[in-house]
Structure 1
Amino acid sequence: MADTNKLADCKEGDEATLIGVDDEQLSVQLFCMGCVPGETLLIERIAPFGDPIIISVEDSFISLRKEDAMQMTVKKK
């Protein structure tokens, strides 16, 4: 999958599809917030130094630590 990235490598305004999450505990937490594989994510804001990252999933905003965003594999649109 050469065209996949980590969410932490995306820039503000990028739209991406969630492919998977490396950490199972994080995967469960994201699932509870509606962030599941196949879902479209929009990178809304990235704070200075890259932490935190705010994404939108459908009608929800989720704030992620950069450490967590490094565990999320996405495919840019």
Structure 2
Amino acid sequence: GIVCNDGCLSCPAKETPAKVHILPVTFQAGDVGGRIERELTITTDLGDGAVPVVTVQALVDGAPADGASARRTPSPEQSVSLR
């Protein structure tokens, strides 16, 4: 599976074995603003020795005015660039 330590990143796991996977990552900014850095841990069928950790960085412009939870859909006032 694919896990983020605080749940702001989500990524569906691929079920078909392949040498290379392109994984769509969804980021929910919630009430976080500024630069953030999170880790995705990817478990594969290659065993415990092949568990990559991918660092994802985002720059969040703006913050929700209503103090909504981190699980809400980002508003048009928020923008994110993933690197």
Fold shared by both chains (TM-score > 0.5): no
Larger relative contact order (Cα-Cα within 8 Å, sequence gap ≥ 6):
1
Please report the TM-score for the alignment, with normalisation by the length of structure 2: 0.27
Q: Whose Rg is larger?
A: 2
Higher helix proportion: 1
Please report the TM-score for the alignment, with normalisation by the length of structure 1: 0.29
